[in-house]
Amino acid sequence: MDSALCLRLDYENNNNKIDNKILELLMTSTLVNKLTKNYIEHPLFAVFRIMGLSEIPYTENLRYTEKLINYINNKISTNEGFSCLGGISEIVPCYNAMLLEAYTRLGLSNTKECINALNWIKKYQLFGRNQKTTWKYFGICKHGGCLGKVPCYIGIGKTMRALITYAEFNNKKDIEVENLINNGIDYMLYHSIYKRLSNGYPISSHITDVMMPQSYVLSLTDLIYIVGKRKLTGVCKKVCKLNLI
């Protein structure tokens, strides 16, 4: 078993380790070594590397992670949220949410970068059909239509993951976040978690795939995370006729 997985299991089971032992496990991890082997100053490279590293506890202490965070703060973060596709006008729900989740896992939920991303979701994200966002830029009209009359399901799923993680990692309860999570859960249950309303087929080609770390597409891993964290297993079996766990 990779030592990074040992760290993750110990962290989830609240088995605290001394700093020297943590550093040893990080340094001997094949996965960590792969994730920190090279560095490219490119927005998408930074997004997916930080996503992978954020899944491993204590990686926020690595110089490599600090370098990534500094790049993201300077090149991807904006006053309105995270944008890896070209400034404020190109903010899209999935990438903004993924970086919100990563920053939360890395202990950065109180930073201005994280708060901006959260506020974008609170102000502009849609969790239902035939609604209209007040976001004025057109980046959300690209990529298949992130926030159109039928909002992108990937964006909703990634936003749900991010909000659930944010709520879990923050001791102070945010009622607005809880309400958004409930709205998103209702919308996802309406779709039986993974099905198109029109024909009952999977919403996207990768939604039944297992992916770790997560990608920009919505996967079975994401759905299991959402269902498990919100204790929806019984609801999914009854309402969705789906046995995810």
Q: What is the mean pLDDT of residues 80-86?
A: 92
Calculate ∠ Cα 157-160-161, nearest 5°: 90
**Average pLDDT of the chain to the nearest whole number:** 90
Is the pLDDT at 241 greater than 60? The verdict is: no
CB atoms within 10 A of CB 113: 21
Q: What is the pLDDT of residue 236?
A: 64
- pLDDT, average across residues 31-37: 95
Locate the domains of the chain by residue range.
1-75, 87-245
Main-chain dihedrals φ then ψ at residue 233, nearest 5 degrees: -55, -50
- The pLDDT of residue 86 is 85
Q: Which residue has the higher pLDDT, 245 or 103?
A: 103
pLDDT tens readout for residues 195-234: 998 898 899 889 999 998 888 899 999 999 999 999 887 6
pLDDT band at 143 (very low <50, low <70, confident <90, very high): low
Greater model confidence, 143 or 36:
36
The span from the CA of 164 to the CA of 39, in Å, is: 30
Please, what sign has the CA dihedral across residues 164, 169, 173, 174?
negative
Hey, what amino acid is at 78?
T
DSSP secondary structure, 121-184, as one string: HHHH---STT-------SGGGSTTTTTSSS--HHHHHHHHHHHHHHHHH-SS--HHHHHHHHHH
Per-residue model confidence (pLDDT) at position 245: 47
* pLDDT of 139 higher than 80: no
The residues facing 41 across adjacent strands are: none
CA proximity to 129, closest of 145, 150, 147: 150
User: Exposed, middle or buried, 130 (CB in 10 Å: 0-12/13-18/19+)?
Assistant: exposed
Please tell me which of 25-29, 70-74, 210-214 the model is most confident about, judged by mean pLDDT: 70-74
Q: What is the pLDDT of residue 21?
A: 84
Q: DSSP secondary-structure letter at 206?
A: T
Mean pLDDT of 177-185: 96
Whole-number Å distance between alpha carbons of 166 and 188: 19
Average pLDDT over residues 168-178: 92
Examine the pLDDT at 88 and tell me if it is beyond 70: yes
How much is the pLDDT for 94?
A: 93
